[in-house]
Chains A and B, each alone.
Chain A
Amino acid sequence: MRIALAIGTFLILVIHGIVFYNQFGHPWERNQNTYFDQAKVLAKSEAEKAALAGRKPRIEQIVVSNFGETRFDRCTTCHIASDDPRFASHAEPVKTHPYSTALGDTQKNGKWERRHKFSEFGCTVCHDGQGRGLDVEYSHGKDEYWPDPLLGFTTQDHWRKEHAPKLKGKEYMQANCAQCHTEIAFAATPLVTRGRELFFANNCYGCHRIEGLSDGNIGPDLSDVGRKWKLDYLWGRIADPKFILATSIMPKFNLKDDEIKALVVFLKSRKGRNFAETEIQRFKVKLTGGAELVQATIKPVKINPAEMVKQGEKLVLDRACTACHKLGNRDGGIAPDLSFEGQLRDGEWILAHFKNPKSTMSDSIMPAFRFTDDEFKAMTAYLLTLKGQATPAAGEAIYKNLCLRCHGEKGDGQGPIAEHLDPYPRDLTKAGFMNSKSEARFVNSVRNGVNGTSMPAWGKLVTEEQAKTVLAYIQTNFTKDARRELKVRPIPEKNPVAFSTESVTRGEALFVNRCAGCHGRKGDGKGPNSLDILPKPRNLRNAFFVNSVDDKRLFESIQYGVQGTAMPPWIDYGLTNNDVGDLVNFIRSINPKPKGGQNAGAIQ
């Protein structure tokens, strides 16, 4: 017992010894002593030497309150020679901070004068890092939890090995210059300017919002992305979006390393609020949407009518359309194949779709991009020249060429791009559905498309004969159930209830009562039950679709249900033809009728 006590007590003593040694033998003290010694050698006068001899190591700090929250920068405790020009050729940390005309430093009578005085700016405003630390590990931000490691100098251990070397270089500090130097094309921050241009050239703005620049809402808001994320993450997300977040739907852009670097620097400079802004400037930008900055960044192509198609092609290929769409051997894997667009759509439709994708397809996720009218026309002209290849004769070949991208290899409606389409492509394996509709209707869907959905009219590519062949292929390979004789059902040809306000009111009451559970109170197909249902309930506010089907089809779907889906036969639940008439009138009433022209009925 006594021996154990002695050992324990000795251990406590030893630990205290170690702790005291660590506390009083701190590296920063050694650095300062080194500086004092060398400065003494360089000293010119005895007084200077005496002053140096009297100095003892102590913690130096600069308190900076001009830039956001008050900062305590103790960096000069180790970097004690940073403002002493005699130490220019010494080794870090006892080394002069370089002078540079690019930083605004000036030389007078052979003496440098700093533009950014350390006493006013401190260190972390430009360099990041952790000003309060006195350990290299912590003050340089090497520990994985510190959000701002020295910009361009320090990489953290958990950063990806293949990216870490690319994230070094003082050019990354331009992101911090831009905290104050917000001029539109500030000469000293070329990467920020280039990054902003790339942000527009690659159509990033279509999905992402940045306050005062863009208002995309598909992807996350990037207004303060530079404050939230470190370089490694920004680079990783741009270079390979799915690497960090497997569920990301962001396309992989075809970017070179120097382009990614410019984008990373630009994004790192987005910190929500920079030091140069005043409240009133912020408010002005909010009102104008940063028009001035955007105008300076977007460089519209001047369209020459004679070379429209060529210029359009260049735009489509250069401006990242293929980050989502497929065209030739480029495939973004998110949006439909454009290879035969000229056969599927007319110019008017394409142009309207460009300007506002939702004006031709209610639930399209394609953002509205900021091209000029002329640019849109040129791109439309180019797309119209795309005729694809001749359609093969065999059912299987047709399916693989034209249908598979959406309907999937197994015909289950889960093609590579299916998750990005709304409504989802039809599941062709559901025999209940496939065998409850006439072949004529399917042929019609194939050749004339389904309005308001991503199913285009294949009429110019697929003859009626070919349509029947591919339908037969689908029937034998996916549906795997022979067609049956369709039941003849008593369905009124026309709505027996005249369209009137009273009928719509009755229909609405009925709708809220019976239909809203799946189709939602607004009829947008997003009722509480819709989450568990596949195929999803129809969006009854998709005017293109609703206006393209006649009363007879609506009556059939409501009264006798849609087999293979969750839609039940409402005749079994006591709905009369008059009730259904009211419902149909209600559904018609929430979808504005087009006033001439295919696209005029746009819902904005």
Chain B
Amino acid sequence: MSLSTPPKASFLASLKAFPSTIWKSIFRNPLPSNDLERSATSFTNFFLHIHPVKVHKNSLRPLYTFGLGLISFFLFVILIVTGILLMFYYVPATSQAYDRMLDLRGSVAFGTLLRNMHRWGAHGMVAIVFLHLCRVFLTGSYKKPREFNWVVGVILFLLTLFMSFTGYLLPWDQLAFWAITVGTAIAGYAPVVGKDIQFLLMGGTSVGQEALLRFYVLHVAVLPAVLTLMIAIHFWRIRKDGGLSRPEDADPVISLEAMPTVKASVLEPKKTYGLQGLVRGPLTKVGEIPDNTVFSWPNLFLAELFTFVVTLSAILVVSLLFNAPLEEPVNALHPPNPAKAPWYFLGLQEMVSYSAFWGGIGVPTIFVLLLLGAPYLDRGPGGVGKWFSRDRLLANTIFITFVVANIIFVIIGTFFRGANWAFVTPW
């Protein structure tokens, strides 16, 4: 579509066209009305071009993905935005941090809302990323060729946990101080290097100014940068691995035998390979094969927008209804009883109460190693793209056992543990 302007436009006409000129210079395409324009819209927009032009129908099934990966990403975006705004008010000093919290709650415009959104968004992200991990495992999506993207995903999950954990200390109230004291103590149970890791994290033998500064730098600089990089890799690999996983029968079988074989030597002199020659995976299919893909515009983008709106409204509603906790100022001599780690580590703390090493280090390490190694241990090709596939009964059973056990421990640790870690009933 060429924008051929009349050779001699009057000044008035140019002025009249000025807004649309600006608009068109930003958005090169008009709202698409045919397939070519739809492709072009996806292709030429910086924010959209990370998407494929066409997307498989299976990827758009809400009940297949529940949009969990996207929700995680949007939560991350919300956290970055609110986090940067919070950084304007925060000082990572033991003498000031708590007062800054009081200011945020009391005098800063929208301070309470910002803090609530950041707090609940962070808790939400931990939960959603974990659910996303469960979805990917239970649909067998980590199998070839997505093995390494799964590994990246597990690393992202661990980074999210660590991100949330480092942020936990920053309000510098009793909840923060003792949760981090307990959390770092759990790290200290690791053999050989445990105490060193603990020392490295805290910058000393107890949680204090050094720990606050370290956690702050990790939380606002190091981890977000690493996380952003890993997310980029994660997304890029999704594209390169041919989109989201789907069951084999989602596409009709193409019999490769029927294709005529062509001697390479015949092609070689005549043809220079384009980029397509490097692309692996299903061959480009033209013509008679039924097409199971739809254009990303508007199908995919609407779905993404919808997910974003739902995520944002959920966070806003929760932030409006519940205030982020702010307990007493830190008193290092007066631990609450019981002192509890953040909820997502309470499963660990509960297990630690049975055995320091096995609960805090042994079992979690085994779980993480199993997760990382899953695609390399479970090499059977079957069951990809189907929830709870029968082909993957064993793997799913092991996974669900671990997950359910952890959830039970978290629930016990959260609701059923009172003073001196004795069993109490919450009612």
Contact = CB atoms under 8 A, between A and B. Distances in A.
Interface of A: 1-2, 4-5, 8-9, 11-12, 15-16, 18-19, 23, 59, 69, 72, 74, 130, 132-135, 138-139, 145-147, 228
B306 A11 contact: no
Contacts of B310: 8
A23 B109 contact: yes
B106 A135 contact: yes
A23 B110 contact: yes
Nearest to B334: A228
Given A74-B106, A145-B326, A228-B334, 12 more contacts: A5-B305, A8-B312, A11-B317, A15-B316, A18-B320, A59-B107, A72-B99, A132-B102, A135-B106, A138-B102, A139-B106, A147-B328
B313 interface: yes
25 contacts: A1-B303, A2-B302, A4-B306, A5-B305, A5-B309, A8-B310, A11-B316, A11-B317, A12-B309, A12-B312, A12-B313, A18-B320, A19-B110, A19-B320, A59-B107, A69-B95, A72-B99, A132-B103, A132-B107, A134-B106, A138-B102, A138-B105, A138-B106, A139-B106, A145-B327
Interface in B92-138: 95, 99, 102-103, 105-107, 109-110, 113
A411 B214 CA distance: 60
B329 interface: yes
Contacts of B326: 145
Contacts of A8: 306, 309-310, 312-313
Interface in B135-163: none
B389 interface: no
Contacts of B113: 19
A23 B110 CA distance: 7
Nearest to A9: B309
B78 to A, nearest CB: 12
Contacts of A1: 302-303, 306
A144 B192 CA distance: 42
Contacts, number: 66
Nearest to A131: B102
A552 B307 CA distance: 89
B331 interface: yes
Contact of A147 (B109, B316, B317, B329): B329
A11 B106 CA distance: 26
Contacts of B105: 133, 138
B313 A146 contact: no
Contacts of A138: 102, 105-106
A504 to B, nearest CB: 42
Nearest to B174: A145
A344 B53 CA distance: 101
Contacts of B350: none
B106 A132 contact: yes
A9 B105 CA distance: 27
Contacts of B309: 5, 8-9, 12
Interface in B278-310: 302-303, 305-306, 309-310
Contacts of A18: 320
A134 B309 CA distance: 32
Nearest to A132: B102
Q: How large is the interface on B (under 10, 10 to 19, 20 to 34, 35 or more residues)?
A: 20 to 34
Given A5-B309, A11-B313, A134 B320 contact: no
A130 B102 contact: yes
B103 A146 contact: no
Nearest to B299: A1
Contacts of A9: 309
B327 to A, nearest CB: 4
Contacts of B174: 145
Contacts of B312: 8, 12
Contacts of A23: 109-110
A133 B105 CA distance: 7
Nearest to B325: A145
Contacts of A16: 316
A4 B306 CA distance: 8
Contact of A146 (B95, B317, B328): B328
A130 B99 CA distance: 10
B107 A134 contact: yes
Nearest to A2: B302
Interface in B310-357: 310, 312-313, 316-317, 320, 325-329, 331, 334
A134 B112 CA distance: 12
Pairs A-B, 8 closest by C-beta atoms = A8-B309, A132-B102, A133-B106, A145-B327, A15-B316, A11-B313, A134-B106, A145-B328
Nearest to A134: B106
Nearest to B310: A8
B312 to A, nearest CB: 6
A25 to B, nearest CB: 13
A130 B105 CA distance: 12
B192 to A, nearest CB: 27
B419 to A, nearest CB: 10
A15 B303 CA distance: 22
A145 B173 contact: yes
Contacts of A69: 95
A482 to B, nearest CB: 44
Contacts of A135: 106
Nearest to B102: A132
Contacts of B103: 132
Contacts of A59: 107
Contacts of B331: 228
A132 B306 contact: no
A74 B107 contact: yes
B107 A5 contact: no
Contacts of B110: 19, 23
Contacts of A139: 106
Nearest to B62: A1
A15 B312 CA distance: 11
Interface string B194-222: 00000000000000000000000000000
A341 to B, nearest CB: 40
Nearest to A147: B328
A59 B320 CA distance: 24
A132 B99 contact: yes
Contacts of A5: 302, 305-306, 309
A134 B173 CA distance: 20
B300 to A, nearest CB: 12
A132 B303 CA distance: 44
A108 B129 CA distance: 70
Nearest to B313: A11
A4 B105 CA distance: 33
B320 A15 contact: yes
Contacts of A132: 99, 102-103, 106-107
Nearest to A146: B328
Nearest to A69: B95
Contacts of A4: 306
Contact of A15 (B99, B313, B329): B313
B276 to A, nearest CB: 34
Contacts of A72: 99
Contacts of A133: 102, 105-106
Nearest to B316: A15
Nearest to A16: B316
A216 B82 CA distance: 52
A243 to B, nearest CB: 14
Contacts of B334: 228
Nearest to B104: A132
Nearest to A8: B309
Interface in B238-292: none
B91 to A, nearest CB: 14
Nearest to B326: A145
A228 B330 CA distance: 11
A72 B108 CA distance: 14
Contacts of B316: 11-12, 15-16
Contacts of B329: 147
A132 B100 CA distance: 9
